[in-house]
Amino acid sequence: MEEKIPLIGEQFPEMKVATTHGDRNLPGDYKGKWLILFSHPGDFTPVCTTEFIAFQKRYPEFRKLNTELLGLSVDQVHSHIKWMDWIRDNMGVEIEFPIIADTGAVSRRLGFIHGDASKTVRAVFFVDPKGTVRAILYYPAELGRNFDEILRMIRAFQVADENKVAMPADWPNNDIFGDDVIVPPASTVEMAKQRLADKSITCKDWWMCHKKL
C-alpha cells in the first residue's frame, strides 16, 4: 500500500536523505527548529537560480527565527555542487544551506511530483520544532516563489503559537486591524460576555475580536 502524502497537522515522515552537507535524518536532525523544506524543478535553470539567491539573501533572517532551509530536486550531489559553484562565481552569492540529492523517492513520498512530470514542482513544506507539518505551498515551474511571504508565514506561526492567537489577512499590514492579531472566538456564552468586557480586546462582535500584542 502506497504511503499517503503528509498533510497539515500531521507528523513529517522519518527519512534519511543525502545532501550537499552530508546525510540528514528528517525530521529528527531539525528537532527544536523550524524547517523550510523546498523543492525546485532542476539545477542550472534560470527561475530556480533566482530562488536560491533569494533564499540565501534571507537566510540570516530565517536563522534569527530559529529556522533552517533545506532544498531538494531530482538531481544528484555533483550537479548541486557544480550549480552552487556557478552561482558563487557568476552571481557572487555563496549558498550556505544544504540541498537534497533525490532519486525521485523522496519527492514522490512528499508529493513534490505532480501528474506525469519527472521533475518536481516548486513545493514548500513548513515543519515546526516538533516535526509537525504546519503549511504546504505549491507553485508551478513557470512561477517563482514570494520569499517575503515565506518569511512572513514563519513569523506569523511563531507569534500565533506563543500567544494562542490567529492572524488576519496580510498580517502585520491588515487593511482593517493593522498589526493587531485575532483573538480566537469564544466557545461559551460566559466567555463571550467576558470577551466583550475585556478592555484589552477590541470587538466588532463577540466572535470578531482583535488586540495588540
Helix (H, G, I), strand (E, B) or coil at 4: coil
Residue tagged active-site, from 37, 48, 69, 74: 48
Q: Which residues lie closer than 8 Å to 213 by C-beta, 6 or more apart? A: 159, 163, 165, 181
Q: How far is CA 168 from CA 158, 180, 184, 208, in A?
A: 15, 8, 11, 11
- Distance (Å) of CA 55 to CA 38, 61, 137, 198: 10, 10, 15, 42
Cα of 29 vs its chain's centroid, Å = 17
Q: How far apart are CA 64 and CA 38, in angstroms?
A: 19
Contact predicate 12/131, CB 8 Å: yes
> Phi-psi region for residue 57, left (φ > 0), alpha (ψ -120 to 50) or beta?
alpha
8 A C-beta contact, residue 80 and residue 20? yes
Residue 203 annotated as catalytic: no
First to last CA, the chain: 47
The DSSP code for 178 is B
Catalytic residues: 48
